[in-house]
Chain A
């Protein structure tokens, strides 16, 4: 079985007017089918860049990266993944159902197929009843759910999520985290999830990739032994706290919390 994502010695250097910026350096990582992998680290550690590289939105400058055994470009053209951005990025002139149908229109699905899939994914993210609403009529949390539905609509097996709940308040965030876990369990998708919240990463993941900046690199990869079924109060158990402590250590080892560097 080939890995869903496989990176070997992956590096990415941005050329800027102030000189080269090493966004990713020597990243080695394998993500298997059905995993929930979180990428955690402070800003500038390259977690978003890595996600964008998987999505073929950035081009690596060294090493190899394959998605389902293919190049990222071919995987993108195969519509191998759904991407959820930091902001919902809904098109304001489209209703919620039309926004979710957008990838289906582009990929040439028939009208009836579009309707069926829109209905199914809207049920999946608990947005039924809001089909005809425009984005501005929905709360931030609901907008982000709609953008997740849009990423799920065309049934890609890989879901890439870039701090999707970063702009939401903690109550909404907890709620959406639980829903995301249920959704992952039901759909059996592989999920790559960027975050800078330790509890969020530990709560959601089967694997936590700790990254640190300057240059962006992986400092630790933690396999979680928590059960797949995770109620919110699992966050008070010793197992949970032990993993969280290891993540924190990993971040500290990468000098992530140093105040200097400027």
Chain B
């Protein structure tokens, strides 16, 4: 009996390949059900228009991530309803990464508005409303970098929300004790010198953070590039990694590594936290959202940290670049896209809206200080929305960040395949930090791989 069963096994397996096709015909399902060719009903109607009614009414479904931002946006809804009492907001905390793509592909229960990473907007553009008409009145007052990342082929597909300027966080107390004058740092050469100086005083230090996660390392690289007004691809999607700008940045990182001036660690992983607390890492060039670390995760050195604009790549160069950020998108299949636009218009461009988000609220009694508004009227250096940050020694982070944000150059769109490039560029940066590749090799190998695996396969 066992013998018999054993023979049945392989026979069945062997036949599978041939029979798969037979089953296809036999069961006769090929003709019915959804076609793989989705209907292409885009065209002229894909540019959203603002509603014209006096008091529009309806229900909108808004997706946000769970957590602090959900709570913050939740508190804005009441204020929104004071202005638009007839619009009901169905606010949902959703696993956006897992759901959005599938929902847009199948067009089922599509939300009216979604909170989305800037880097992902272009990838979904085909399923989103072009917002260039409704954004027209505000476009002149929006940080150029945010318009660029939301743009594709002349359309704008997201309502730009936060700006995440890169800053140089530094441990002022430790640097002072070592006799290093951090405040005089103006260029990356100055930063290298300061790091060398600190290293002399504290030999086991690796003063500058070197990111070890391939993804975040590439994100940080793009922050440096944004300072120089460039990014991985231009507005036409042409790869432009092979440039003097990228070579300069990679050479800087390579120098930090070769001279032993860096600590290689994953952002806020165990090694990172320990070395930050022990003042072995004292320079952290990162987006403004790093400020959460001294506020929550670094009790020993909390209060010792300060933030200043990033050093410039050349004398007089821009002192900041963007790293991360999010926007709001409105899917084409949304039921009430116009009403969703009204919600985001209120949240981003209405003083009551942005003050409720960034200002003191139940979630953040001192205001939300991990990013700043990208709408320039909201980002006035002299009218802070959030208060001074205690973990930064009471520094007025608002002013520092807003002024840095104003320096971020435009012209740095994010290509749709950005995240896919991590396998090539992100990895090659790490190989360089291992000492296995030179900056030039990183550029050559990554360019070739990105071109053939990502750009050519779009």
Q: Do A and B come from one complex?
A: no
Q: A residues engaging B (CB < 8 A)?
A: none
